[in-house]
Amino acid sequence: MWLLSWRDLQYRRRRFAIAVVATGLVFAIALLLSGVSSSFTTEIDRSVAAFTADRWIIPVGAKGPFSNANAFSPSEVIDSVKGAKQVDAMVMNRLVLGSRDVIVFGTEINGIGPRATAGRNVHRAGEAVVDTSLGKAVGDDVTLGGTRFRVVGTTTGHTIFAGSPTAVISIDDARAIGFASQPLATSLLVRGAPQAVPSGYKAITNDTAVDDLERPLQKATGTIDFLRVLLWLIAVGIIGSIVYLTVLEQTRDFAVLKATGVTGRSIFRGLVVEAVIVAVAAAAVATVLALVLGPLMPMSVEISTGTYIALPVIAALAGMMSSLVGLRRALGVDPALAFG
């Protein structure tokens, strides 16, 4: 009975249009939140991979290379690491530039560390490779920790801690900013798999380094996931309300249909079709809204193609769930009401 569903959608088009727009907005917010949550994960994966390290060495008490506040003298540790192809010291400084946090990594020149995707790498003191999200281009100057640097290269998408841009400078410059030029490091970057590390230190994998960056964001991602569930429920509620209202208005019609031999199941199927059409149309609206609004968001929003493909499927399921609110009423309509 597609005919009944299609005609009813046309007949009550204003109401359904409002439902599509309202549900589309809700879906779009859920989609954008998914994008934000997803960007947390992908930015971490991308940024950790950018170091091109196989292992990281940190003090035993530290959780990871990005949260370790206990600087150590690297020279003795580097000498004691056995079996690695290359071991370089790294210093991480968390600085403030204007109103933004900037995460500055000091690495050995030509050593292990992030590489510029435009321009060139740092060759000497006073040079920096910065992420484009900092708003600087090659040739610009940038002041980090009170020291002016010349931007010689840029990276794209190298942010951590939910959008904080990173910068790479020489390790000597980083030590000058953070440790009054003392020869310290916050972690070691390792190529190859070390067979032994000195007592008091441990080698961790990239996955553990990723965990180290994800930990501060766990509450944020948990909250976002919770909000997404709420938004899905709201979407189901909106469609469900429209379906229920339609059922209430059509009680007499349903009674007449039953009296003329239309089964309750047929009527319910019609409701499911209407709810799914509304939900899928809302998913289309949400996709357009997300594509338009995503780039305008202050935070990075990375919505995968898979998410866009999954949305109409999830929306259709939400539509089916919504139509359940009309199930009992549609099936329970007494055909004798047609005479009433």
**Nearest distance in Å: CB 248, another protein:** 15
CA distance 289 to 201: 50
Query: In the bound complex, what is the minimum distance in angstroms from residue 14's beta carbon to another protein?
Result: 13
Counting residues that bind another protein (by CB under 8 A) gives: 24
Q: Is 15 in the site for another protein (CB under 8 A)?
A: no
CB of 274 to another protein, least distance (A): 11
Tell me whether residue 70 or residue 263 sits nearer to another protein (CB atom). Answer: 263
Q: Describe the crossing of helices 264-293 and 251-259 by its angle, rounded to 10 degrees.
A: 140
Window 100-139: residues binding another protein (CB under 8 A): none
| Closer residue to another protein (CB): 274 or 302 | 274
| Rounded distance between C-alpha atoms, residue 257 and residue 315, angstroms | 29
Using the contact rule CB under 8 A, the part of the chain among 9-17, 19-27, 67-75, 109-117 near another protein is 9-17
Residue 256 CA to residue 63 CA, distance in Å, equals 69
Nearest-angstrom CA–CA distance, 178 and 55? 24
Sequence-distant (6+) residues with CB within 8 A of 106 are 90, 91, 92, 93, 168, 169, 170, 171, 172, 173, 174, 175, 177, 178
Give the shortest CB-252-to-another protein separation in angstroms: 7
Burial class (CB in 10 A: 0-12, 13-18, 19+), 147: middle
- Which part of the chain contacts another protein (CB under 8 A), choosing from 91-99, 207-215, 292-300, 331-339? 331-339
Contact flags string 233-272 toward another protein, x per CB under 8 A: -------------------xx--xxxxxxxx--x------
Nearer to another protein, 136 or 258 (CB): 258
- CA 292-160-162 angle, to 5 degrees, is 45
d(CA 298, CA 12): 38
- Nearest residue (CB) to another protein, 4 versus 144: 4
Rg (CA), the chain: 29
Contacting positions for another protein (CB under 8 A): 1, 3-4, 7-8, 10-12, 252-253, 256-263, 266, 334-336, 338-339
